[in-house]
Amino acid sequence: MVKISKRYRTATESAELSKPYSLDEAIMLLKKMSPAKFDETVELSVHLGVDPKKSDQMVRGSVNLPHGSGKKVTIIVFTETPQVALDAGADFAGLDDLIKKIQDGWLGFTVAVSTPTAMKEVRKIARILGPRGLMPNPKSGTVSEDVEEAINAIKLGGRIEYKMDKTANLGIVVGKRSFNEQQLNENIKSVIEAIGRSRPTDIKGKFILNMALTSTMSPGIKLESDLFAKL
């Protein structure tokens, strides 16, 4: 049996969680809930009306958060010229040596970038990186000739990637509990717009079925469908 903390129970009692809220109301409720002893990550949970078994209905992409994610990002770059990538701000760079390190079990990074020519070798570890959402991909801007631009977009532009799981769900970081209401509002709207642009062309009916806002230690707060009904 899962043990529910007193703080979590108090949070669930602080609002009527069975009903949906506007974005402003949801952020306000989240901020009023008793916080944890650390700066919790705020996440937007999205359930999509697509068939996850069909490859042409896969939903993935990236978005630049106006106020960043608040998370420390560790970037590796697969490239034949590692010093260029390191000078541009990469935390680790290389090719064969980096691939071998990952094959041996190392995964001490949050984003992987690759040059197009290096991707032939990177595909050797697709089975390791893919399931973890770490595989470089042109759609997310992590396969690029311009390594410096890709790194700056991730570190300075607050770029985050998202990828639908096998149950047609997305969990996307939109900031931290310490962010003010306007920062969270603008980040969330940017994410919702990005998801809308990722809609597969042959989807019929509703693309987004429901959304909820949550933080690391809080219950989910449902969002009104007005936010995403037209996407």
Does some domain include residue 1? no
Name the nearest CA neighbour of 71 among 177, 204, 181.
177
Domain with residue 58: its CATH number is 3.30.190.20
Distance, CA of 212 to CA of 204 (rounded, Å): 23
Phi (first) and psi of residue 221, to 5 degrees: -115, 115
Q: Two tokens at 63?
A: 């978005």
Question: pTM of the prediction?
Answer: 0.75
Same domain, residue pair 87 and 150: yes
Q: Where in the sequence is the domain holding 92, given as residue range(s)?
A: 75-156
Same domain, residue pair 80 and 140: yes
List pLDDT tens digits, range 84-137. Answer: 999 999 999 999 999 999 999 999 999 999 999 999 999 999 999 998 889 999
Same domain, residue pair 133 and 180: no
pLDDT of residue 202: 86
The secondary structure of 48-97, three-state, reads ECCCCCCHHHCCEEEEECCCCCCCCCCEEEECCCHHHHHHCCCCEEECHH
Does some domain include residue 37? yes
Same domain, residue pair 14 and 41: yes
Domain with residue 132: its CATH number is 3.40.50.790
Per DSSP, helices labelled H in the chain are 6-13, 23-32, 82-87, 96-103, 119-122, 126-129, 147-155, 181-197
Same domain, residue pair 41 and 23: yes
CB atoms within 10 A of CB 223: 25
Describe the chain by its helix, strand, coil percentages, rounded to 5. Answer: 35, 20, 40
List pLDDT tens digits, range 65-84. Answer: 999 888 888 999 999 999 99
- Res 204 pLDDT > 90: no
Same domain, residue pair 85 and 55: no
Domain-terminating residue out of 156, 186, 203: 156
Does some domain include residue 12? yes
Distance, CA of 213 to CA of 38 (rounded, Å): 18
Total domains present in the chain = 2
